[in-house]
């Protein structure tokens, strides 16, 4: 090949005299935000009429209750096994059902994987409605509509979980690198097939990790929704609390604590293994 292109060495110039910018002062912005937040907090406390005096007037009551709570009655343990298992089962079943339903909905709810704007808007609207209702309200609705017991708890948690999972997974899809998808579409694939083969492998670690997080949430939530009659440890808490059996209550609380700590340990380990 002929050497037609000759290169001249770039000539060295002394760096031009440049003016350094003055460092912008921004502390007053932080101070303003702090003042506003403090003002809103104080105003809220006044508005809801917080009565700190009650803390001291009822101190005798509190110390008696705390005293009992500090002495869990371990002999009550056999009575708690059945509700404990029910709480675990509720959490696991709801997580599984919600995880299966959430995956396709997440793909429909992300701009990155759903090219149809009307469908996207419709799915997002429904998801916003589902997410705006708290789990406790779902539970009390289902207890009224279905029956007291674990089934109502499962239905409530499934809806609660779909709201969370679809939100987290579809937002993760939005932020994903879409190179593989672009290549698949350029090779003549349709959107469904391109999403399945190029986007699913990229999202799966995040999806699995969020599912484990939701399982963790469910253990806590299934105790709370039990309070309104949706089965599990929550129903037991409601029972012993009504009869002021704080020795029993503290055992139940202790069990929940152990359950949550163990699960958190397991889930953080699993997520570390997954997302590398």
| CA of residue 245 relative to chain centroid, distance | 33
In whole angstroms, give the CA distance from residue 91 to residue 215.
6
Q: Is 117 in the site for other proteins (CB under 8 A)?
A: no
Sequence-distant (≥ 6) Cβ neighbours of residue 192 within 8 angstroms = none
Report, in Å, the least distance between residue 229 CB and other proteins: 40
Task: Indicate the DSSP class of residue 49.
Answer: T
Report, in Å, the least distance between residue 275 CB and other proteins: 11
Environment class of residue 117 by beta-carbon count within 10 Å: exposed (0-12), middle (13-18) or buried (19+)? exposed
Best CA proximity match to 69, nearest among 233, 229, 250, 226 = 250
Q: Cβ–Cβ contacts within 10 Å for residue 238, how many?
A: 13
Q: Is 47 in the site for other proteins (CB under 8 A)?
A: no
Binding map of other proteins across residues 65-84, x = CB under 8 A, - = no contact: --------------------
Q: Is 263 in the site for other proteins (CB under 8 A)?
A: no
Please identify which residue in 54, 187, 242, 243 interacts with other proteins, judged by CB under 8 A. 187
Q: Tell me, letter by letter, the H, E, C secondary structure of 81-98.
A: HHHHHHHHHHHHHHHHHH
Please identify which residue in 10, 24, 60, 118 interacts with other proteins, judged by CB under 8 A. 10
Report, in Å, the least distance between residue 184 CB and other proteins: 5
Subset of 155-184 contacting other proteins (CB under 8 A): 177, 179-180, 182-184
Contact 62, 125 (CB under 8 A): no
Report, in Å, the least distance between residue 196 CB and other proteins: 5
Please identify which residue in 81, 192, 261, 262 interacts with other proteins, judged by CB under 8 A. 192
Output 77 or 191, the one with its CB closest to other proteins: 191
Q: Is 11 in the site for other proteins (CB under 8 A)?
A: no
Dig out the tokens for 271 from the structure.
Answer: 């997520």
Dig out the tokens for 263 from the structure.
Answer: 């699960």
In whole angstroms, give the CA distance from residue 80 to residue 252.
7
Subset of 193-232 contacting other proteins (CB under 8 A): 193-194, 196-199, 201-202, 204-205
Q: Is 257 in the site for other proteins (CB under 8 A)?
A: no
Residues that bind other proteins (CB under 8 A): 1-7, 10, 177, 179-180, 182-190, 192-194, 196-199, 201-202, 204-205
């Amino acid at each position: 090949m002929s050497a037609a292109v000759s290169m001249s060495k770039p000539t060295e110039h002394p760096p031009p005299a440049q003016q350094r910018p003055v460092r912008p002062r921004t502390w007053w912005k932080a101070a303003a935000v702090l003042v506003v937040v403090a003002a809103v907090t104080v105003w809220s406390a006044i508005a809801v009429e917080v009565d700190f005096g009650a803390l001291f007037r009822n101190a005798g009551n509190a110390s008696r209750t705390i005293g009992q709570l500090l002495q869990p009655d371990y002999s009550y343990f056999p009575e708690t096994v059945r509700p404990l298992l029910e709480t675990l089962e509720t959490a696991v079943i709801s997580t599984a059902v919600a995880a299966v339903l959430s995956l396709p909905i997440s793909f429909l709810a992300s701009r990155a994987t759903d090219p149809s704007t009307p469908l996207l808007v419709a799915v997002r609207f429904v998801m916003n409605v589902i997410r705006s209702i708290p789990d406790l309200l779902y539970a009390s609705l289902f207890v009224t509509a279905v029956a007291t017991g674990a089934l109502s708890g499962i239905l409530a948690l499934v809806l609660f979980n779909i709201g969370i999972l679809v939100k987290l997974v579809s937002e993760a899809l939005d932020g994903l690198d879409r190179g593989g998808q672009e290549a698949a579409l350029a090779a003549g694939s349709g959107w469904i097939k391109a999403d399945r083969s190029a986007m699913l492998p990229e999202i799966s670690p995040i999806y699995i990790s969020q599912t484990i997080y939701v399982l963790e949430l469910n253990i806590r939530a299934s105790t709370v929704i039990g309070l309104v009659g949706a089965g599990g440890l929550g129903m037991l808490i409601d029972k012993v609390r009504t009869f002021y059996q704080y020795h029993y209550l503290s055992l139940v609380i202790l069990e929940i604590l152990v359950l949550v700590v163990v699960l958190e340990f397991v889930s953080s380990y699993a997520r570390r293994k997954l997302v590398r």
